[in-house]
Amino acid sequence: MNNIPNIKFTNSGNFFLIAGPCAVESEENVFEIACTIKAISERLEIPFIFKGSYRKANRSRLDSFTGIGDKKALNILKSVKDRLGLPVLTDVHTAEECAMAAEYVDVLQIPAFLCRQTDLLVAAAKTGKVVNIKKGQFLSADAMQFAVNKVKESGNENVWLTERGTTFGYQDLVVDYRGIPVMQQYAPTVLDITHSLQQPNQSSGVTGGKPELIETVAKAGIAVGVDGIFIETHPNPAEAKSDGANMLKLDLLEELLTKLIKIRKAI
């Protein structure tokens, strides 16, 4: 964690936080969210990494929002890094994207559906950035050791794993909390709270969600002992251009984090 530029409060004893919008929608939207979370994280002394996807490559429908343009979105993320002094994370989808994205951000995230893609993992590793690998909805926790090994054997020890739910039927996900200590044997482990509450494969082609359970899933994850949590948040999720159905409303974030810190201290 200490090798990430601009990371703060690493000795506070708190979990670390990866948070931001699902996708970069505009500079105004990104800075509103980033400034709000930065202020909260500083009040609560939580190590904070801002998250924003510069492109959404995995969409159900061709007419779904995918982004505002790669370079435009990446420049907005770099501006968050430079102007607000925050570390930044974004997703990468192909080996060719890794070197490009690494010029703008501090952490490269491997989407769950792509966590077995060897060329992608190797390319991300070779940038020297922290690589956060999301566990596939179709994989066991123990199977993620092989994804971690691909990064480490490519010369990069800076790797995390993220739990984001396991497929439960066709249109639901469930978090198996037994998997968190299993994955922690291989790498620091994050719980992606909001994606774990998605309801995929809807007949409309738009993913649903259960945001009313965000606090429940988050509390359980902290009680189990996750190293970090991942939350997508937006001032008005109903108007978000991607994954609005499972995002946390921005003005609810501080109260939630305050409760989670109390649980963290209790354990």
Average pLDDT across each block of 10 residues of the chain; the chain has 267 residues. List them in order.
Answer: 91 97 96 98 98 82 78 97 98 97 98 97 98 97 98 98 95 95 98 90 68 95 98 93 86 98 96
Phi first, then psi: give them for residue 160, nearest 5 degrees.
-125, 160
Instruction: Check: CB of residue 80 under 8 Å from CB of residue 104.
Output: no
Assigned domain for 145 exists: yes
Query: How many whole angstroms separate alpha carbon 177 and alpha carbon 210?
Result: 18
CA angle 56, 58, 59 (to 5 degrees): 90
| Domains of the chain: total | 1
Assigned domain for 11 exists: no
Instruction: Tell me which residue range forms the domain holding 197.
Output: 16-266
Instruction: Check: CB of residue 251 under 8 Å from CB of residue 75.
Output: no
Residue type, 87: P
Q: Exposed e or buried b for every residue in 120-131, given b needs 16+ CB within 10 A?
A: bbbbbbbbebbb
Assigned domain for 126 exists: yes
Residues belonging to the chain: 267
The 8-class DSSP code of residue 246 comes to G
Instruction: Check: CB of residue 141 under 8 Å from CB of residue 182.
Output: yes
Assigned domain for 50 exists: yes
Phi first, then psi: give them for residue 68, nearest 5 degrees.
-100, 5
The 8-class DSSP code of residue 136 comes to P
Which pLDDT does position 209 carry in this prediction?
Answer: 76
Q: To the nearest 10°, the Cα dihedral for 142, 148, 150, 153?
A: -120
Assigned domain for 3 exists: no
Assigned domain for 82 exists: yes
Assigned domain for 237 exists: yes
Residue type, 5: P
Which pLDDT does position 252 carry in this prediction?
Answer: 97
Q: Which helix (H) or strand (E) is 88 found in, with range? A: strand 88-91
Assigned domain for 8 exists: no
Instruction: Check: CB of residue 143 under 8 Å from CB of residue 117.
Output: no
Structure tokens at 256: 């939630």
Report which of 37, 44, 35, 39 is spatially closest to residue 9, judged by C-alpha positions.
44
Which pLDDT does position 198 carry in this prediction?
Answer: 79
Residue 259 is part of a domain; what is its CATH number? 3.20.20.70
Which pLDDT does position 165 carry in this prediction?
Answer: 96
Sign of CA dihedral 44, 214, 166, 180: positive
